[in-house]
Amino acid sequence: MTTTPGARTVRAPRGTARTAKGWAQEAALRMLHNNLDPEVAEHPDRLVVYGGSGRAARDWASFEAITRELRALADDETLLVQSGRPVGVLRTHEWAPRVLIANANLVGDWATWPEFRRLEALGLTMYGQMTAGSWIYIGTQGILQGTYETFGAVAAKRFGGTLAGTITLTAGLGGMGGAQPLAVTMNEGVAIVVECDPSRIERRIAHRYLDTRAGGLDEALALAERARDERRPLSIGVLGNAADVLPELLRRGAPVDIVTDQTSAHDPLAYLPSGVDFADWADYAAARPEECARRARESMAAHVAAMVGFADAGAEVFDYGNSIRGEARAAGYDRAFDFPGFVPAYIRPLFCEGKGPFRWAALSGDPADIARTDRAVLELFPDNTHLARWIGMARERVAFQGLPARICWLGQGERAAAGLRFNELVASGEVSAPLAIGRDHLDTGSVASPYRETEAMRDGSDAIADWPLLNALVTASSGASWVSVHHGGGVGMGRSLHAGQVSVADGTPLAAAKLERVLTNDPATGVIRHADAGYAEAEEVAHRHGIRLPMRDG
């Protein structure tokens, strides 16, 4: 994999003066740059932000053109971005999104990795993952809170509300997976994390997401068992291939309580096959992609078989949204789905309340602005102790990457309240410049992904993809600043469709009106989707918030 022509180092502009004609355009410009900040992106020279090959723009020429167009864009114009490439500017109106984005979408029968790669090689498309191509990735913090919530739910389900005295075994220290060690230690547990790329281990230690590295498996187990016995939180990185290390730890009868995985299994070319040296991997994958993908799938089958072995031995085992069970089954391993995905196991009850990964970034670049918004969230929801614990720990332990940002899961009603309060803070000058308010595509109403967010829906509607399309249409109709519709994020080609929105709080009454509508209607599509699927909790939330359900309310 060579450096993309035209590559250069970029970083978001900071401060209160803008170079675009409005703050929505300026926010899109800053967030696009921020996604490619070397502090934020995994491989910025190739425009890869996170998640295997999730890109912010198709190529550097497209990046330059998007930047130029955003600067010129009027408040009644909309820029169209087709898989990371700006293709048109249309006259719309001031409530319309300033940017509409569609990434990696393929017609059903063509929605496969080989066809996608063929089109990508022709320069016709780009993989946008979820927040890479929709310009609202905020570094590993973005996933940290979701991971913290998930491990908290594991603790509540099996271990009396804390992971103290337990050992979690997982793999992958990339953009998302790098959150795992800190999420485990925030829940007071011990984590052993296997990673084949030494630079990822160093990076997570540098960002204080990972405590230490072990020289080998013996040392990792000794460190883990001592910390567990002392009920002391500790995270340990181990260099190795998970397809070899997990079966070896199972064979040794390692005392593991929880097992999951966040290698880039959704893309077989981003999973290191057993028997291939890390140093040779990129050349091998480029030279023989089909053979490399086949060997990766076989390795995933061995990896998943070890996870099933740990489940058989009594551990809490779950798929963490990377499609590793699907790939293992494709390689012929028939017990791959013997453990659940994390959404049906832990997250769906939150989705029923319209809860999801609400996030915001301070366009000023000033950490004091995030400190002010943190206080505002605590003031808005004084009774939510779980939220207060998260904000407290995040302030203490999360190192900002790129523009200062914060994430917390908020539900129906809460998001609109927070957005309006943030807009007031911008209007009064308590926050020094506008805020970009968005979310992950992994949200209550914005995704169809049968191996992850919509696995095992109560009515069997896992693969119905009308919902994310309706969600995108709703946010675009409600005043969002930019809206995106993607394919293949998280779990890979042919397996998901999902949508995103970002809305800008610039302190104006118009922004307040838009924020109130977008941040009410966006989670409402999730409440509606879950009520429609037969979740009584969601129906109750709909009634409480006055969301009409024609086929249920009559």
Could you list the active site residues?
Answer: 408
If one asks whether residue 413 binds ligand NAD (CB under 6 A), the answer comes out as no
| Residue from 175, 309, 419, 523 in contact with ligand NAD (CB under 6 A) | 175
Amino acid at 49: V
Ligand-binding annotation for 262, yes or no, is yes
DSSP output for 359-389: EEEETT--HHHHHHHHHHHHHH-TT-HHHHH
**Nearer Cβ to ligand NAD (196/531):** 196
- Options 235-243, 416-424, 517-525, 538-546: segment touching ligand NAD (CB under 6 A): 235-243
Which residue in 264, 401, 475, 478 binds ligand NAD (CB under 6 A)? 264
- The gap from C-alpha 389 to its chain's centroid, in whole angstroms, comes to 21
Q: Which residues contact 117 (CB under 8 A, 6 or more apart)?
A: 289
Tell whether 264 is in a known binding site: yes
Nearer residue to ligand NAD within complex by CB, 246 or 387: 246
Of 176, 189, 173, nearest to 145 by C-alpha is: 176
Query: Which tokens hold the place of 538?
Result: 């969601």
How far from 400 is each of 54, 326, 352, CA to CA, in Å?
A: 21, 34, 30
149 in a labelled binding site: no
- If one asks whether residue 343 binds ligand NAD (CB under 6 A), the answer comes out as no
Dihedral, CA of residue 290, residue 291, residue 293 and residue 299, to nearest 10: 160
Q: Indicate the residue type of 243.
A: A
Residue nearest to ligand NAD (CB): 174
Please give the distance of CA 376 from its chain centroid, rounded to a whole number: 24
Is position 348 annotated in a ligand binding site? no
Is 176 flagged in the annotation as binding?
Answer: yes
The single residue among 97, 139, 174, 402 that binds ligand NAD, judged by CB under 6 A, is 174
Binding ligand NAD (rule: CB under 6 A), the pick from 60, 151, 320, 422 is 320
**389 contacts: CB under 8 Å, gap ≥ 6:** none
Binding status of residue 341 toward ligand NAD by CB under 6 A: no
Site membership for ligand NAD, residue 394 (CB under 6 A): no
Is residue 110 a contact partner of residue 124, using CB atoms and an 8 Å limit? no
Q: Which of 126, 223, 272, 476 binds ligand NAD (CB under 6 A)?
A: 272
Rounded to a whole number of angstroms, the minimum distance from the CB of residue 173 to ligand NAD is: 5
In the set 57, 70, 171, 472, which binds ligand NAD (CB under 6 A)? 171
65 belongs to the binding site for ligand NAD (CB under 6 A): no
Contacting range for ligand NAD; rule: CB under 6 A; set: 10-18, 195-203, 226-234, 365-373? 195-203
We find the least distance from the C-beta atom of residue 491 to ligand NAD, in angstroms, to be 6
Pair 37, 160: CB distance under 8 Å: no
Tell me if 192 sits within 8 A of 172, measured CB to CB.
no
Rounded to whole angstroms, how far apart are CA atoms 110 and 133? 21
The reply to whether 266 sits in an annotated binding site is yes
Smallest CA-to-CA distance from 136 within 303, 399, 444, 363 is with: 363
At 103, phi and psi to the nearest 5? -125, 130
CB 401 within 8 A of CB 359: no
Binding-site positions for NAD(+) read 51-52, 129, 175-177, 195, 200, 241-242, 262-266, 271-272, 320, 490
Binding-site positions read 51-52, 129, 175-177, 195, 200, 241-242, 262-266, 271-272, 320, 490
Could you list the residues that contact ligand NAD (CB under 6 A)?
A: 42, 50-52, 143, 146, 171-177, 194-197, 200, 241-243, 262-266, 270-272, 320-322, 442, 490
